[in-house]
Amino acid sequence: MKPKRPANTIPLDRLKGRALESLQPLLTLALEEDIGPGDLTSNVLINHDAIGEAKLVAKADGVAAGLFCIQPMFNRVDSRLQFQPKVEDGERVKPGDVLGRIRGPVRPLLTVERTLLNFLQALSGIATLTAKFVQAAAGTGVIILDTRKTTPGWRYLEKYAVRMGGAVNHRTGLHDGVLIKDNHLAVRAPQHVGETIAELIREARQRISPEIPIQVEVESIEYLEEILAAEPDVVLLDNMKPAALREAVRRRDRLFGNKGPALEASGGVTLRNIATIAATGVDRISVGALTHSAPNLDVSLEVHPASRPRPGRRAG
């Protein structure tokens, strides 16, 4: 029996690359819906050659994420806008911390303000909530994972933010792992649930590369031993109480020791109960709330006219 796989996580540099790729069409939509034919207020009130400076300021404790999106955004609106980060993605921030500074034409800066903050606040919010879940389970050795419950089109961006918060990515899509769920089972019309799930696991194992992880979702430990015997990589224990999770761990360890399939708790996980779930001995906990329920991190953009050189000093 092979050791438990921790997770099917793609390398961070590749994830960031895919996030940047997915950012481009999102920017097209976001800028078009917000700017449309033009920014009436800025165009009417702001001189076209006015140069300004700005800073992004955290208004709450959190974890920064999405700073890498800002310069590509500026390049779409006005490449004269230049962003200088003062913190890195994944860094903890507190109220008053400057996340970055901006210099360039005021009109396009004001025009892009809301789109910039929408991306930065949303991704930093995900990283911040993720960090709270990771901290709540600290010391147990459990791995915290996200899910596919992401905003359509934002998946790679949101999963990048999860990584910045210190958690691990589950599947990025249907293409990089097998997860046998209740609806797959229902279509196969099982006569004996345990036997049928085990058959599906063996069938999948025969048809795919050994490098692709196979997971199976179960809602009861009644057939757990039959399922474990089929050697999936992960058994996802869905919406089980802590007592049932502890019993599942006991049965797995009795059969396989520490080299059996990984056990993953899922469903109804909150900041209030994650420590209790982690203490049951499961290897992984998947949390949909990381991406579907994260509140935005409060960040503001403070703009002012560009500073002028002092008399007697050359501009540098």
pLDDT averaged per 10 residues in sequence order, the chain, 316 residues: 53 96 97 95 94 98 98 97 98 98 98 98 98 98 97 98 97 92 78 76 90 92 90 95 97 88 96 98 97 98 80 47
Domain-embedded: residue 92: yes
Domain-embedded: residue 156: no
Domain-embedded: residue 142: no
Q: Catalytic residue at 158?
A: no
Domain-embedded: residue 267: yes
pTM for the whole structure: 0.93
Pick the catalytic residue from 91, 219, 231, 238.
238
Residue with the two structure tokens 């008399």: 311
157: part of which helix (H) or strand (E)?
A: helix 155-164
> Residue 17: which CATH number?
3.90.1170.20
Same domain, 175 and 265: yes
pLDDT score, position 182: 84
How many whole angstroms from its chain centre is CA 206?
32
Phi-psi sector, 90: left (phi>0), alpha (psi -120 to 50), beta: left
Q: Catalytic residue at 114?
A: yes
Give CA–CA dist 40/237, Å, rounded.
Answer: 54
Q: Count of domains in the chain?
A: 2
Same domain, 175 and 281: yes
Pick the catalytic residue from 55, 86, 132, 149.
149
pLDDT score, position 3: 39
Q: Catalytic residue at 217?
A: yes
Q: Which residues contact 97 (CB under 8 A, 6 or more apart)?
A: 57, 58, 86, 87
247: part of which helix (H) or strand (E)?
A: helix 242-256
Q: Catalytic residue at 181?
A: yes
Same domain, 84 and 179: no
pLDDT score, position 40: 96
Residue with the two structure tokens 């009417």: 44
Residue with the two structure tokens 């203490």: 279
Residue 71 belongs to domain spanning = 12-130+296-305
Pick the catalytic residue from 114, 250, 254, 259.
114
Domain-embedded: residue 219: yes
Pick the catalytic residue from 16, 181, 202, 205.
181
Same domain, 236 and 263: yes
Q: Which residues pair with 168 in a beta bridge?
A: 145
57: part of which helix (H) or strand (E)?
A: strand 51-58
Q: Cβ–Cβ contacts within 10 Å for residue 308, how many?
A: 8
What strands lie across the sheet with 284-286, from one edge to the other? 143-145, 284-286, 262-266, 234-238, 214-218, 178-180
Buried b (16+ CB within 10 A) or exposed e, 66-93: bbbbbbebbebbeeebebebebebbbeb
Closest CA to 57 of 304, 307, 298: 298
Domain-embedded: residue 138: no
Closest CA to 119 of 92, 82, 89: 89
Domain-embedded: residue 75: yes
> Residue 175: which CATH number?
3.20.20.70
